[in-house]
Amino acid sequence: MPTYKLTYFDFDGGRGEPVRIAFHAAGIGFEDERVTFPEFQKMRKSMRFSALPVMHIDGEQVTQSTALCRYVGRMAGLYPEDGLQSLYCDETMDAVEDLTHHIVRTFGLEGDALREAREALVDGWISVFVKGIGELLTRGGGEYFADGRLTVADLKVFVTTRWLCSGGLEHVPTDLVGQLAPGLVEHEKRVSEHETVAAYYASRA
């Protein structure tokens, strides 16, 4: 068995969290390296694309969160084998990546500039993506995005819905997701209570 190290920021969310949950679901031990932003700044140059998450497999660096989700998801049985269902799973994860990209562009703004940028996002890209991801859930049958069961797509959306509804994103109303796509709020609860995910957080408690 290779050795795995996952380096990501020290919080239970973002692009690294679905990979951590998938590792736990697979029953595969890994080094969960959690860094602060100042620590990341010091190590940034050693990261191939100057960003996290980064995985080391037997010391070899691999990047790109969605690729990491697929890789660990396969080992955990959380990635569809069927071609069409894997397309649905990938489409969902890529949509979440696009949504995240739009939001991250507002990081570092302050005051009126932050408010204006976030209000524009709420009326624009966040609404477009939340509605669209809600439609993908409906297509999947309403409970999960692909294969009629928990996959890494659900982990990625669950983490993102939790973030959007957390109040941690200034100027993004906590009830926005519920208004635009109520199914996603129910999905967040369903996934958080799923035995695979609940077992991961119990292990963290």
Ligand X SMILES: N[C@@H](CCC(=O)N[C@@H](CS)C(=O)NCC(=O)O)C(=O)O
- Of 9 and 74, CB closest to ligand X: 9
Site track 24-63 with ligand X (rule: CB under 6 A), x = hit? ---------------------------xxx---------x
Nearest to ligand X of 19, 180 (CB atom): 19
Question: Which residue number places its CB atom closest to ligand X?
Answer: 51
Q: Interface with ligand X includes 70 (CB under 6 A)? A: no
Is residue 155 within 8 Å of 201, Cβ to Cβ?
Answer: no
Minimum distance, C-beta of residue 182 to ligand X, in the bound complex (Å): 27
Give the C-alpha distances (Å, rounded to integers) separating 201 from 67, 137, 164, 185, 205.
23, 24, 20, 19, 6
In sequence order, the β-bridge partners of residue 4 are: 57
**CB of 100: closest distance to ligand X in angstroms?**
7
Is 64 an interacting residue with respect to ligand X (CB under 6 A)? yes
156 binds ligand X (CB under 6 A): no
R_g of the chain, CA atoms, integer Å: 17
Neighbours of 173 (CB within 10 A): 13
Q: In angstroms, what is the minimal distance from the CB of 63 to ligand X?
A: 6
- Judged by CB under 6 A, how many residues of this single chain contact ligand X? 10
CA distance 137 to 154: 9
**According to the binding rule CB under 6 A, does residue 14 interact with ligand X?**
yes
Q: Where are the alpha helices (DSSP H) in 55-124?
A: 65-76, 83-104, 111-123
Q: Cα torsion for 141, 98, 118, 182, to the nearest 10°?
A: 0
Query: How many CA atoms lie within 13 Å of 126's alpha carbon, on the beta-carbon side?
Result: 27
Does residue 136 belong to the site contacting ligand X (CB under 6 A)?
no
- Binding to ligand X by CB under 6 A, coded x per residue (else -) over 84-103, reads -------------x------
Site residues (CB under 6 A) for ligand X?
14-15, 51-53, 63-66, 97
